[in-house]
Structure 1
């Protein structure tokens, strides 16, 4: 290949710098505003690019046992439990559908693929959740989205990509299907499982519409719904917050602190699964 012209290389570098600045600058403003003092936020018109003095007043306020602290624990619980249950169900279904002689395997796979084209409507889904008695129950945030069709297809393709000789060797050694899954399939599928787990975790952590729809008690709402309340309306949930949380800091710094708090878990998890991301998605897609 010909070596690219220096002007082309420079143009690419400038373009990447501009794109990076467009991504980093809003994030910097959010973090800086959350760390600025109340007086500095007010004097700067509500947004701070670089705080003159760092203040954790906004974080102390939202984490002082009020609605944000409770909502954060709710979101963490839903994310951890939901991701674990979704991975368990998706791995089981993906492995079963990857085996060649599964009874009714093709009709089940066809039903899964049809969900890509025909999603359930909002009203039918709500009626099903209501008929199961899940209104005002955290299970309503997990069970309706327990298995994602895309994630299922990715894992199925990954399990199919494992050489059949390994499965046959396990059967010759007397291993059943569960033992084969545990000792053969899962250790070879860590990349795909990490990616699927990240997809599920991000989905559960960022979900807010289901909580608004199924949880009538606002004290049970997860963090994303509280974040929406802060950012859109500039105020916490009425009747569920202390006077300190409502008055100590400026509304903008409180909003930005909640935004940062909502981003931290995903930012902490993503670097550990990033190296598996491309490998897991591409392998699963190619093999499926």
Structure 2
């Protein structure tokens, strides 16, 4: 009934909006479908496929078998999981604690500390000074060099500070009157209220650690420490086909020498994308919850 009352101009505007959104979805999804089609195609037919194909030419999972058995990919996956998991946990923990402290208006030197935090955004050092600091600390070839970098991101810290400032003081006072100490107030009252904001910055930190390749590439001389993104660069940018062909002798994988490098690259790119896509639904479900949901428990 409501749609019948819309004017022709409103219906035209809706049609334009939907058309633009559909076009954006197509442009975004088509490259991913093309990579999927190439990775699932018969390796012998991959050279004849174009960048617009979204349907596999033949069907083969040889690329995925090769990826699953490739030693460099296996090590890279485990390294990426470790760096992302440990890094995100430390990031969210320290960011939340620091944001809660800075959101308290009675904190001494609160304004000065906030200005210093903003200064880190404006005057961010480059990669060369960072490298010399890490070398001076003895953190080269150490996972700590990429995990502790930006342990607290200033932008995400500001998001949480603004969120914590909206927590009603009545809830904090009620918890204090019930005998809760400062840590219990933070853990049992504030954090449940902040689930949407925590989910947001957790997603940001996870994506950052998972996609980071520049610093691991610079700080890790040991190739066994390379995360998945650096391994991906080795195959996609450098084009290290020798590492692929060498798998035949290493793992006795039949047909490894016939694998098309383009198909391997397509599978490798998808292999690095899928884990992040898989966690989106589990984090995004918190975004729809109200900020006061935790107060009702």
**Which residue number corresponds to residue 194 of structure 1?**
199
Q: Are residue 155 (structure 1) and residue 160 (structure 2) matched?
A: yes
Secondary structure of the equivalent of 1:145? coil
Secondary structure of the equivalent of 2:237? helix
Kept after mapping to 2: 8 A contact 1:67/1:240: no
Q: Deviations over 1:118-174 (max 9, x none)?
A: 101222211111111100001101112211001111111111110011111122222
TM-score when scaled to structure 1?
0.89
Instruction: Between the two structures, name the one with larger relative contact order (CA 8 Å, sep ≥ 6).
Output: 1
Q: Deviations over 1:85-130 (max 9, x none)?
A: 1111111101111112223322222111111211012222111111
**Which residue number corresponds to residue 213 of structure 1?**
218
TM-score when scaled to structure 2?
0.87
Residues in 2 aligned to 1:237 and 1:273: alpha-carbon distance in whole angstroms: 39
Residues in 2 aligned to 1:187 and 1:115: alpha-carbon distance in whole angstroms: 29
- Structure 1 residue runs of 5 or longer lacking an equivalent are 284-288
Q: How does 1:90-109 map to 2 (within 5 A)?
A: 90-109=95-114
Residues in 1 aligned to 2:245 and 2:190: alpha-carbon distance in whole angstroms: 48
Residues in 2 aligned to 1:201 and 1:216: alpha-carbon distance in whole angstroms: 24
**Which residue number corresponds to residue 180 of structure 1?**
185
- Structure 2 residue runs of 5 or longer lacking an equivalent are 293-297
Change (3 A) 1:135 1:202: same
Residues in 2 aligned to 1:261 and 1:87: alpha-carbon distance in whole angstroms: 26
Residues in 1 aligned to 2:237 and 2:203: alpha-carbon distance in whole angstroms: 28
Secondary structure of the equivalent of 2:165? helix
Residues in 1 aligned to 2:52 and 2:220: alpha-carbon distance in whole angstroms: 33
Kept after mapping to 1: 8 A contact 2:241/2:261: no
**Which residue number corresponds to residue 282 of structure 2?**
272
**Which residue number corresponds to residue 16 of structure 2?**
11
Paired residues, what number? Answer: 282
